[in-house]
């Protein structure tokens, strides 16, 4: 009996070597990447600048914050919401064909592998490259932002849609066959109801992310609150930066709370 216990004891896989190897790799990568830490602070010292920045942000420009013209924080936030909203809607619509072409249960292997590769490419190209390309199409402004967000949304949204598609319960299709339903009726009444709730939930989640990412668009003149924010930062107007950031943070927190509620309701019924 004790022999068997000993045998079992020896059977326990020894993961020591694996852990050591992993630890070694991480340590080596860490040492290598430590060279990224460099200090090249301007002459008057980073600390002083940091102090100025914090002071500025903590005493926001109230005039800008409570300004309701098209230069004020409120309108800019509204414009940002519009960009993120439209970008999400169009992105979600574009994601549907991509998702079906990525689903192993829908298309043959070569098709879904090629589509998946394409989506990885779309997802990896930084959004501001798209931004610059779209500025050529529509001129600078929020329109370019919408186009950029539509494209950048595809990567994540279609990937999440695929999981929902793969989860479809096919039993209902058999039952509808037995009822004498056409293919159109099977899709309309058997498949779409299964997809709609989860698709909406994913889309809302993406809207949340797009709102956060919308600041980047400002870098390339693609509209939204990013441009004035980065302009204010580059010209050291920290009071304005403060008021814009306050507006943005509060907006994102509110939208996040609402979207969490909505998504919980969608998924649990």
CA separation for the pair 87, 89 (Å, rounded): 6
Structure tokens of 73? 């924080």
Q: Applying CB under 8 A, which of residues 3, 7, 42, 110 lies at the interface with another protein?
A: 42
Quote the least distance from Cβ 152 to another protein, whole Å. Answer: 10
Give the one residue of 67, 94, 219, 237 binding another protein; rule: CB under 8 A.
219
Q: Which of 223, 224, 241, 244 is nearest to 232 (CA)?
A: 241
- Binding residue count for another protein, defined by CB under 8 A: 87
Task: Return the residues of window 127-186 that contact another protein according to CB under 8 A.
Answer: 127-129, 132-134, 136-138, 141-143, 145-147, 169, 171-172, 174-182, 184-185
| CA proximity to 97, closest of 150, 187, 161, 189 | 161
Residues 222-251 that bind another protein (CB under 8 A): 223, 226, 229-230, 233-234, 245, 248-249
| Contact flag: residue 216 with another protein (CB under 8 A) | yes
Q: 188-200 burial, b if ≥16 CB within 10 A, otherwise e?
A: eebbeeebebbbe
187 binds another protein (CB under 8 A): no
Q: Within positions 75 to 114, which residues make up the interface with another protein, using CB under 8 A?
A: 78-79, 81-83, 85-86, 89
- CA–CA separation, 48 and 3 (whole Å): 71
Please compute Rg for the chain using Cα positions: 26
> In angstroms, what is the minimal distance from the CB of 265 to another protein?
11
């Amino acid at each position: 009996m004790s022999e068997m216990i000993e045998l079992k004891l020896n059977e326990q896989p020894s993961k020591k070597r694996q852990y050591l190897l992993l630890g070694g790799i991480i340590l080596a990568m860490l040492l290598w990447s430590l060279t990224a830490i460099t200090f090249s602070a301007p002459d008057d010292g980073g600390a002083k600048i940091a102090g100025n920045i914090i002071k500025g942000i903590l005493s926001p420009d109230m005039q800008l914050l409570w300004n309701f013209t098209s230069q004020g924080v409120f309108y800019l936030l509204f414009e940002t919401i519009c960009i993120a909203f439209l970008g999400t809607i169009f992105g979600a619509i574009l994601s549907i064909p991509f998702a079906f072409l990525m689903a192993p249960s829908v298309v043959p292997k070569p098709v879904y592998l090629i589509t998946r590769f394409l989506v990885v490419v779309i997802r990896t190209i930084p959004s501001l490259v798209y931004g610059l390309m779209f500025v050529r199409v529509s001129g600078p402004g929020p329109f370019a932002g919408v186009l950029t967000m539509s494209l950048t949304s595809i990567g994540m949204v279609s990937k999440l849609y695929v999981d929902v598609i793969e989860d479809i319960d096919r039993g209902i299709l058999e039952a509808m066959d037995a009822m004498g339903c056409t293919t159109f009726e099977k899709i309309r009444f058997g498949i779409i109801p299964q997809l709609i709730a989860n698709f909406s939930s994913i889309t809302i989640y993406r809207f949340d992310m797009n709102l956060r990412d919308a600041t980047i668009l400002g870098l390339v003149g693609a509209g939204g609150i990013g441009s004035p924010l980065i302009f204010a930062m580059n010209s050291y107007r920290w009071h304005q930066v403060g008021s814009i950031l306050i507006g943005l943070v509060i907006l994102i927190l509110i939208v996040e709370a609402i979207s969490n509620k909505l998504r919980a309701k969608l998924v649990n019924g």
